Structure 1
Amino acid sequence: MVASDLPVGDRIRHYRGERRQDVVAGLAGISPDYLSQIERGLKIPSLPILHAIAQELGVPTAALLADTPTPSRVPPDTTEPAIVQALMGYGPPRSAPAAAPTALRERVESAWRAWQSSQSRFTDMAGVLPSLIADAEHAARAHRSAEDTGRRRDVMRVTADLYFLLRSYLRRTGRVDLSMMAADRAVRAAEEADDPLRIAAAQWNLGHVLLAAQEPDGAEQVALRAVEELRQVPMSASDRVAMSGALQLVAVVAEARHRNWSAARERLRTQARPAARKVGEGNIMWTVFGPTNVDLHEVSIEMEAGEASEALHVADEVDTSGLPSMERSFTFNLEVARCHNLRREDAAVLLSLLELEDLAPEDLARTPLARELMLTVIRRGRAMHARQAEKLAERVGVF
């Protein structure tokens, strides 16, 4: 069984297996060079040729046809249905007793730790988020008009933190629309809690979902407005600096999306990096802001700018072993793989992909760029590398 969006050439290569390319081509009545070009995606075979190839491979012609268009960089929808149902309001009866804020806080923080560190984080979230969403929403309703203002604010703080997590989960599972909804609910919860730090974190989350929705202008405006608002509210200096630095990184990414590399580099150098040096490594409001995260953004800028050698030079100095977020480590190593791909270093691409499999197999299976890189090594790499890449693709469900 192969993925429904796998291109024709990759399907032929998969079903051909260990059979020699020249033998299959000869029996199908085409040249080995033509079959090679088909497998590499350079040629599209006519239906009679496709039928002849299918006969020689012993599979139905339909098995060589993709059911959906060529894969894009948009993640497939892998959101757990029970989570969607919970978001739509399927929860406990209104007459049921509401969960205490302290108990909710422990559950939300436990879910965040799993999301940032577990190799099976998508499976973990499918098990805990539906009931957590229902209970948090029920608690928010129960305390919305309560006379105990402090308790109500505690519930809304927890609710905001939960929707921060949902924003990240939903974006990673291909539901940018629901991710936008979660980000909006986080903003409302943070405002009801009247918590300046969470209001800023909600804007950071909103900025990220706007980036995912291909709206970098909106993301930059939201982030920089939040930076200005932070200057006006009382809070500890370290919290303000760290949260402002995280928001500056949203603006850095937005400028890079506009291909304004010089502005992105300048903002990273003059705004984000000094803030990171001042506060050190941390994870304020689950943003993983600190010097290492700033370095990872520098790698991203150079990679997006096409400066693969410079990006790899910067990456050589980065140590992600101390990061509290596996997701940031995964993204960093994926970008290193992409840099090697730009330099056509297939062995290095394959090594990076295998490391990513060890680090976060569920993320690897869900990431379109990783799928693209696997297929590129299969098409372009030496036979040994192509075979290893194909086995990796089979393990993560591409084939």
Structure 2
Amino acid sequence: MEVGMVAPDLPIGDRIRHYRGARRQDVVAGLVGISPDYLSQIERGLKIPSLPILYSIARELGVPTAALIAETAGPITTSPDTTEPAIVQTLMGFGPLQSASGADPALLRERVDGAWQKWQSSKTRFTDVGQVLADLITDVEHAARAHRGAGDASARRDVMRVTADLYFLLRSYLRRTGRVDLSMMAADRAVRAAEEADDPLRMAAAQWNLGHVLLAAQDLDGAEQVALRAVEQLRAVPMAEPDRVAMSGALHLLAVVAEARGRNWSAARKRLQERAAPAAEQSGEGNIMWTVFGPTNVVIHCVSIAMEAGDTSEALHVADDVDTSRLPSMERSFTFNLEVARCHSLRREDAAVLLSLRDLEQFAPEDLARTLLARELILTVIRRGRSMHARQAEKLAERIGVF
């Protein structure tokens, strides 16, 4: 039997089930000399086989024993690193040489806005954005250096605004491609660029981005404090009122996420109802600084809180009235629908889980392949052992690279 590639963190039980394929569980168990129930418990992760039994299973399946052993000691809790190497090299200062003159700020603005458009709307956004970010970093950084010593203060601020916006994008890309460390670097550079631009709105957006990196790093208190401090700072600076309201609302939603993940459900719900929801009603649907803030995003957070609190019935009830088709960011829509799939999984509704996951495969295939929760949901369906659903889940796992 040819040994196919599986994810390096795939547990022993899932590997055995994968390599067993269509062979009956009771037949393999009998040939190995164990009971079918014991093999079933191994495949579901309830039992860990001894090395002699593992060797016997591998021999019967026709694979090396090493093929049944995960390469990592435990489950991976962060996304695998899928960052384009050229982006990492450029971020670390090893990009190509540049000419003496910096690029025109207007052209850089057009390129950065175009990259953001791809990131928020393309089904192949990781591939599309990954192809342009390295050159953008090089050109934007070169323009920033060229304008720092120039006499035109207005042009310098324009370049630094573009620089901040690029690093906002990099923060999001790097977090989703498994490099939280570099995402933190990007967030820090965005903060400095926004300050050099002397742009209060971007300074607040930089704090919002920093807060999301802290969430990814599990620093919930830090994320909440960053968000609330930025809200206070917004009150003290001159700014168009619609921008202030929308940006403050986005920051309150960040604090809501931190409180919910910290299991402070009452505080999260109160902030959502008293701070974020009124701001969303006042500002309407929007995408200020690419935060996707608006009434729909607020309701999506209601679903998230109910799910995190274990009230899946309430979460699904609220989710029924959510229409994400007009959201400007496919990532937000993807995350919402994946959370709906998780609610169905918690209720052991495997048919609904598979339906949601197949829809997401069509909607955002690259996101599905990179998201740990999606993998966990697929493996959960497989482990429950309902043959029809398990076979469909295994095929999906193969398509997105779990098997």
Structure 2-normalised TM-score?
0.97
In structure 1, what is the Cα distance between the partners aligned to 2:164 and 2:257?
Answer: 24
State how far apart, in whole Å, the 1-side matches of 2:90 and 2:282 are: 41
Work out the CA distance in 1 between the residues paired with 2:98 and 2:114.
Answer: 25
Q: Which whole-Å CA distance do the structure 2 matches of 1:92 and 1:27 have between them?
A: 60
Unmatched runs of 5 consecutive residues or more in structure 1: none
Q: Does 1:13 align with 2:17?
A: yes
Q: Tell me what 1:380 maps to.
A: 384
What residue is the counterpart of 1:285 in the other structure? 289
Q: Find out whether 1:294 has 2:308 as its counterpart.
A: no
Question: How many residues are treated as equivalent by the alignment?
Answer: 399
Q: Which residue of 2 aligns with 1:321?
A: 325
Shift of 1:72: 3.2
Is residue 2:274 matched to residue 1:270? yes
SS at match of 1:282: coil
Q: Which amino acid in the other structure matches residue 217 of structure 1? A: D
Q: Deviations over 1:54-112 (max 9, x none)?
A: 11111111111111133233111111111011111123435432110000000000000
The equivalent residue for 1:85 is 89
Structure 2 residue 53 is the aligned partner of structure 1 residue 49: yes
CA RMSD of aligned residues (A): 1.0
One-letter amino acid of the structure 2 residue matched with residue 382 of structure 1? R
- Give the conservation status (yes or no) of the 8 Å contact 2:171–2:186: yes
1:309-336 CA deviation, whole Å, 9 max, x = no partner?
1111111110000001000011001111
Q: Could you say which residue in structure 1 is the equivalent of 2:315? A: 311
The correspondence for 1:108, drawn from 94, 98, 112, is 112
1:326 maps to amino acid: M
Structure 1 partner of 2:44: 40
Following the alignment from structure 2 to structure 1, what is the Cα–Cα distance between the partners of residues 336 and 143?
A: 38
1-structure distance, mates of 2:42, 2:96? 55
The answer to whether residue 366 in structure 2 is matched with residue 336 in structure 1 is no
The DSSP-based 3-state class of the residue aligned with 1:72 is coil
Counterpart amino acid of residue 120 in structure 1: T
Residue among 225, 236, 239 paired with 1:221? 225
Structure 1 counterpart SS, 2:73 = coil
Alignment equivalent of 1:131, drawn from 119, 130, 135: 135
2:169 is the alignment partner of 1:165? yes
How far apart in 1 are the matches of 2:8 and 2:97?
Answer: 40
Q: Secondary structure at the match of 1:235?
A: coil
Deviations 1:355-384 (A, max 9, x none): 111111111111111111110001104111
8 Å Cα contact 2:183-2:213 kept in structure 1: yes
Cα deviations by residue, 1:138-170 (Å, 9 ceiling, x for unpaired) = 000000111000000000000000000000011
For 2:50, the aligned partner's letter is S
Aligned to 1:246: 250
State the distance in 2 between where 1:11 and 1:390 align: 11
Kept after mapping to 1: 8 A contact 2:9/2:76: no
Q: Is the 8 A contact 2:26 2:36 kept in 1?
A: yes
Structure 2 contact 168–206 (Cα < 8 Å) conserved = yes
Unaligned runs of 5+ in 2: none
How far apart, in 2, do the equivalents of 1:71 and 1:365 lie? 16
CA contact (8 A) 1:171 1:209 kept: yes
User: What SS does the corresponding residue of 2:95 show, helix, strand or coil?
Assistant: coil
CA distance in 1, matches of 2:273, 2:332: 20
Aligned partners of 1:348, 1:70: CA distance in 2, in Å?
29
How many angstroms apart in 2 are the aligned matches of 1:94 and 1:384?
Answer: 58
Partner Cα separation in structure 1 for residue 326 and residue 99 of structure 2: 45
Is 1:204–1:223's contact at 8 Å kept on the other side of the alignment?
yes
Letter in 2 for 1:187: V
Q: Percent identity?
A: 80
Aligned amino acid, residue 166 of structure 1: L
* Larger CA deviation: 246-255 vs 50-59: 50-59
**Please, which of 330, 351, 354 is the counterpart of residue 347 of structure 1?**
351
Question: Aligned partner of 2:84: which letter?
Answer: E
Quote the Cα distance in structure 2 between the aligned partners of 1:22 and 1:221.
56
Q: Which residue of 2 aligns with 1:193?
A: 197
Find the aligned partners of 1:73 and 1:328 in 2 and give their Cα distance. 21
Is 2:238 the counterpart of 1:234? yes
